[in-house]
Structure 1
Amino acid sequence: MELFNHNPDFKMDVLREVGNIGAGNAATALSRMLDKPVDMSVPTVSFVPFESIADRVGGSEEVVVAVFLRVDGDAPGNMFFLMSREQARLLLRELAGFELEDENEYSELELSALCEIGNILAGSYLSSLADLTGLAMSPTVPQVAVDMAGAILSYGLLQFGTMGDDALLISTTFLKDEREAEGYFFFIPDPESFARMFVSLGVPLE
């Protein structure tokens, strides 16, 4: 794919803005949901090949917590929010105030909370992307799963069909006092969607 050969710095500046605006919106929405201040660090934004997504969370056999959904509209694609089990527990304890009864299992309420946090993140990043591009983009109802990263991505392929070769990665870090909980947010546009997004931003493509 030749999308990033022409003025890649400008493209990344645009996408960093998506991450910054989305993180600000997400922090506000999470603060409202939890009725307490939520801080998020400035996210790092990069492109990664689809096949290396699992490597970011420890490999395809690493068990992770995942929230995933389909994006419909002018630039369709798939979204995944992945966290290690340790980071998910930290997020539940420090941010959402849960007293975890089992360190290795999640109750329905805990999974629901993680799903809602992932849903807020997805909605916030997607809204900032839609606002900057002027494209209509809407999320479907999210699903949450605890499984090996490779199995979750394979299930996503089965659920949503063929995915693009590249993923937009937004590393997302929640801050609470001295503690940090980090997760990885991936938007995997359908093959034609990247070009549509950049054309709508007035970025010339080769």
Structure 2
Amino acid sequence: MAYSELELDGLKEVINIGGGHAATSISKLVNQKIDMHVPEISILSYHELYEQIIAADVEVHAVVSNIVGNYSGVILFVVSDDSADKLSELMLGAKTDDINVKMSAVSELTNIISNSFLSAIGNLLNVELVSALPVIQDDYFGAVISSIYMALDQYDEQIMVIRNEFTYSEEKLDASLFLIPETGVLEQILKSLGI
């Protein structure tokens, strides 16, 4: 299904509200100001995803969280090795070379982001949404997406791609947040927004 500019703007506004809540939650946790901006939102097919966002053969750290509540789907947070280093240092207050500690910190950050997003969106749409405990995967991006899609074959063939930009202490890094909705979820959200 194709979405109009008005519909995409409506979805972006919902995501920006969620991002604001997530940034506030992270700021309190790390005791410094964190800004989160959503410069881009796209709804793409899997083929377009590999062509435009991340190639299938790029190695990534991926954190997968199932959405539980009135709407179903998966939130996928993907970062490069460099971004994982910066995010873990933000969470821990110091650098670490221990990959398990690093990914545990990124996983906790993802849990905060996912639940802050979902809580804000749930409040806006008057529905209950929470994130299940995140699961970490280190693999090729294509393998991560394929495993999610195959495990959840009732899910939509469209992915909402949200480009998140974190800013803190003059550090800026990009992370990709993907919403893989159950069929019809995006339409329900738009209907709730009156679009």
Cα 1:95/1:70, change in 2 over 3 Å = closer
* Cα pair 2:45 2:159 within 8 Å, conserved: yes
- Number of residue pairs matched by the alignment: 195
User: Shift of the alpha carbon at 1:95?
Assistant: 5.8
Question: Which whole-Å CA distance do the structure 2 matches of 1:48 and 1:39 have between them?
Answer: 26
Cα 1:160/1:33, change in 2 over 3 Å = farther
Partner of residue 78 from structure 1, selected from 74, 78, 84: 74
Question: Which whole-Å CA distance do the structure 2 matches of 1:34 and 1:180 have between them?
Answer: 16
CA offset digits 1:148-167 (Å, max 9, x no partner): 11111122124433321212
Question: Which whole-Å CA distance do the structure 2 matches of 1:192 and 1:19 have between them?
Answer: 18
TM-score, normalised by the number of residues in structure 1? 0.83
* Cα pair 1:168 1:186 within 8 Å, conserved: yes
Partner of residue 46 from structure 1, selected from 38, 42, 54: 42
Partner of residue 156 from structure 1, selected from 111, 134, 148: 148
Unaligned 5+ residue runs, structure 1? none
User: Shift of the alpha carbon at 1:57?
Assistant: 5.0
Which residue matches 1:111? 103
Amino acid at match of 1:67: V
Which residue matches 1:126? 118
Amino acid at match of 2:29: M
CA offset digits 1:93-143 (Å, max 9, x no partner): 356433232xxxx53221111001111111122223222222332221111
Query: 1:10 is paired with a residue of what secondary structure?
Result: helix
* Cα pair 1:75 1:194 within 8 Å, conserved: no
Which residue matches 1:87? 83
Question: Which whole-Å CA distance do the structure 2 matches of 1:200 and 1:38 have between them?
Answer: 30
Query: 2:55 is paired with a residue of what secondary structure?
Result: coil
CA offset digits 1:4-23 (Å, max 9, x no partner): 2xxx2321222121122112
Cα 1:34/1:94, change in 2 over 3 Å = closer
* Cα pair 2:84 2:102 within 8 Å, conserved: no
* Cα pair 1:23 1:43 within 8 Å, conserved: no
TM-score, normalised by the number of residues in structure 2? 0.88
Query: 2:130 is paired with a residue of what secondary structure?
Result: strand
* Cα pair 1:71 1:77 within 8 Å, conserved: yes
Tell me if 1:201 matches 2:193.
yes
Amino acid at match of 1:118: T
Identity over aligned pairs, percent: 26
